[in-house]
Structure 1
Amino acid sequence: MSGRVANEYRPILTDFLNPRQLYILETIVNRYEGVSFQTFGGFPSAELKRAVAFPDYFVPKADDYNITAFQIDYPSKFATLSHGQILGSIMGSGIDRDVIGDIVTDGLNWQFMCETEMADYVQTQVDRIGKIKIKLKQIQPEDIIVPVDESEEVTTTVASLRVDALVSEGFHISRHHAKELIEGGMIRINWEDAGRPDLEISIQDIISVRGFGRLVVKDIAGTTKKGKIRIVLKVYNRNK
């Protein structure tokens, strides 16, 4: 991507990327002189973002990210929605995950970000969330729900960067319990099944644990005198 920007001397827009993918993209872009990149996800605190890699002459604006925001109109007096239901129904309509950005709610209203290139298709294809009849309505940027950041930043140490070690430390559960959750398919890393407990985690990886919450690895900050690894985690919805 960065090579294309440098060779073709024009901006290039990505799909929605998660924080780990954005971190990798940043390391690649930094290798190229005269190429920069910026990101936007529809609102300032968005987690999933589109990136524009661009030559020095170009200054990206919000419109350059081609993001459309949808409000989900549904019978809120008689039905409830969830993040998983919404994402599952969208993807069940044949729409790729990286076409969709953050899904946000204020507890009653639900919205999601979408690539403008696919907005018309999404609007015509998605008319149900599960069994609930819905209608998608395009909204203006100023009407987007901005979620409140209720995360807690924690600096701690772990013996290794294995996913079971981080889940154990982040959610105050035993390593054995963490392994059971992984083997039961309850843990995802960057929206993919963790698969095995010895998988090593990197900076900006997102670990989602069903029933507990999420961890984001913000920094890996060296080792202690006893050889433990010092890490900084952002923890969401931890059971205390």
Structure 2
Amino acid sequence: MEQVYQHFRKEEQVFIDMVESWIIQVQGQYSPYLTEFLDPRQQYIVEMLVGKKGEVRVSFFGGYEAAERKRALLYPEYFEPQQEDYELQLFEIQYPVKFTQLSHGKILGTLIGSGIKREMFGDIMSDGQRWQFFTAENVSNFVKLQLSRIGNVSVRLEERDYLDLIQPIDDWTIEQDTVTSLRIDTIISSVYNVSRQRAKELIIAGKVKLNWALYDRPDFELGIFDIISIRGYGRIQIREIQGKSKKDKWRIEIGVLRK
């Protein structure tokens, strides 16, 4: 395992061990294994590890083509995955549209505050007015019972079919950038045109999340498919690390969501 660990971060070792156990289970039982929702960085790790095991394959699905959070299905060669194998339930939030507005942050905070693990639901989507999200089928009844208010707004969840999926607004732009390092503070500073000191302050103040978890280390080096969220600014995803320029700077391709 040490040879595997060296390609990833130390804090990712627990997840790597988990993925290895899934692979062994599929090999031993010769039947598919469905994970909870994974973020893009976790999906990347699963793909890298499964890629080395010829008899086990993997596919991902999060409800729609451009989904960020997806469930992984690890399966033996004979198996052909179908959409229903990912066991997803789509919900739409019914709320008094004329009198209030919902936001991604409010919905996310309410779901987690209701005791629902982040791994049990996928993307939260909006077309500007309607709001929908995916959950794992096995917790859909629990989610439906728990979510009756968002803030001080009464809401109701209604199950929807895939045919009712809204077209999410996607304001991501793909950009090329050249940075002196892959540190979080350096990337934030470059993308949003703020000073390194200001970027550090945002991180230390708890206004930055790395892969949906609070992170307070300005010197942390980002890797492929990491997503950082900066309160009040937007989100950045590392899409590709293209190597170094002649001036010894990193060339990167990033997805940027500006508020």
Give the TM-score band, short-chain normalised: over 0.9
Q: 1:220 aligns with which of 241, 249, 256?
A: 241
Out of 51, 57, 76, the residue aligned to residue 78 of structure 2 is: 57
CA deviations 1:85-135 (Å, max 9, x no partner) are 111111111111110100011111111110001001111121111111111
Residues 213, 237 of structure 1: 8 Å contact kept: yes
Greater shift in the superposed pair: 68-77 or 165-174: 165-174
Structure 2 residue identity aligned to 1:158: V
| Equivalent residue in structure 2 for 1:194, among 201, 205, 215 | 215
2:46 paired with 1:25: yes
Give the superposition deviation at 1:150: 2.3
Looking at structure 1, the residues matched to 139 and 172 of structure 2 have their Cα atoms a distance apart, in angstroms, of 32
Structure 1 segment 28-107 matched on structure 2, within 5 A: 28-107=49-128
Which residue of the other structure, out of 123, 128, 137, is the alignment partner of 2:144? 123
Instruction: Indicate the SS of the match to 2:141.
Output: helix
Gaps of at least 5 residues in structure 2 are 1-21
Whether the 8 Å contact between 1:66 and 1:115 is mirrored in structure 2 is yes
Distance, in Å, in 1 between the alignment partners of 2:115 and 2:177 is 41
Asked if 1:141 is matched to 2:162, the reply is: yes
**Aligned partners of 2:169, 2:78: CA distance in 1, in Å?**
36
Mapped to 1, the partners of 2:46 and 2:152 lie a distance apart of 39
Paired residue for 1:168, among 186, 189, 214?
A: 189
Percentage of matched positions with identical amino acids: 43
Q: Which moved more, 1:77-86 or 1:65-74?
A: 77-86
Residue range with higher mean Cα deviation, 148-157 or 81-90: 148-157
Runs of 4+ in 1 over 2 A off after TM superposition: none
CA drift of 1:198 comes to: 0.4
**136-145 vs 165-174, which moves further:** 165-174
**Contact 2:126/2:169 (<8 A) preserved:** no
Give the counterpart of 1:16 among 37, 61, 72.
37
Unaligned runs of 5+ in 1: none
Root-mean-square deviation (CA, aligned residues, Å) is 1.1
Deviations 1:182-209 (A, max 9, x none): 1111111101112110011110000111
Question: Is contact 1:45-1:146 (8 Å) kept?
Answer: no
The structure, 1 or 2, with the larger RCO (C-alpha pairs under 8 Å, 6+ apart) is 1
Conservation of the 8 A alpha-carbon contact between 2:206 and 2:214: yes
Tell me how far apart the structure 2 counterparts of residues 17 and 226 of structure 1 sit (CA, whole Å).
Answer: 36
Distance 1:94 1:174 in 2: 38
Structure richer in helix, relative to its length: 2
Greater mean alpha carbon deviation, residues 2-11 or residues 21-30: 2-11
Larger mean Cα displacement after TM superposition, 150-159 or 44-53: 150-159
* Counterpart in the other structure of 1:210: 231
Cα separation, 1, equivalents of 2:112 and 2:172: 27
Is the 8 Å Cα contact of residues 43 and 146 (structure 1) preserved in structure 2? no
Matching residue's letter, 2:130: N
- SS at structure 2 position matched to 1:148: coil
Query: Helix, strand or coil for the counterpart of 2:66?
Result: coil
Task: Using the TM superposition, give the Cα deviation of residue 146 of structure 1 relative to its aligned residue in structure 2, in angstroms.
Answer: 2.3
